[in-house]
Amino acid sequence: MQIGDLSRETGVNIETIRYYERIGVLPKPGRQMNGRRTYAEQDAGRLGFIRHARDLGFELADIRTLLALQEQPEASCEAASRIAQAQLEAVESRIAKLQNLQAELSRMVSECRKGVVAQCRVIEALAR
């Protein structure tokens, strides 16, 4: 398949596919006589793996490690588990920060009396 077909099949932008090739998380594709890239189904599978991992927030360095682990089916999955645990902790931390942000914004909005700007609690809270 060509790069456009791979992009449509996986939902990954063409420029992103090229970027993944440049940094080595996606192998360099074969080329047709006219220079066009050609991809196999295994490339689509690998790109799907990368996309799913990115959707879950994994960094490319972690994805590179997970891809390397995927190529060792008999190896322990302890490293993969550690990577996933670290990502889970990062997500939980972001959720806690967002919940604090939500509480602060709710407080600001609820204290707003919709009067004049000189007495606006939202402006006052942001000015602190």
Secondary structure class of 114 (helix, strand, coil): coil
Same domain, 20 and 62: yes
Query: Given pLDDT bands bounded at 50, 70 and 90, which one contains residue 84?
Result: very high
**Domain span at 90:** 77-128
Of 53, 54, 30, nearest to 43 by C-alpha is 30
Quickly list H helices, the chain.
3-10, 14-23, 41-55, 60-70, 78-111, 121-127
What average pLDDT does this structure show over 80-86? 97
CA distances from 69 to 15, 63, 66 (A): 26, 10, 5
Q: Point out the domain boundary residue: 32, 55, 75.
A: 75
Q: What CATH number is given to the structural domain containing 67?
A: 1.10.1660.10
Number of folded domains that form the chain: 2
pLDDT of 27-81, one tens digit each? 999 999 998 999 999 999 999 999 999 999 999 999 999 999 999 989 899 999 9
pLDDT at position 43, please?
A: 96
Same domain, 69 and 12: yes
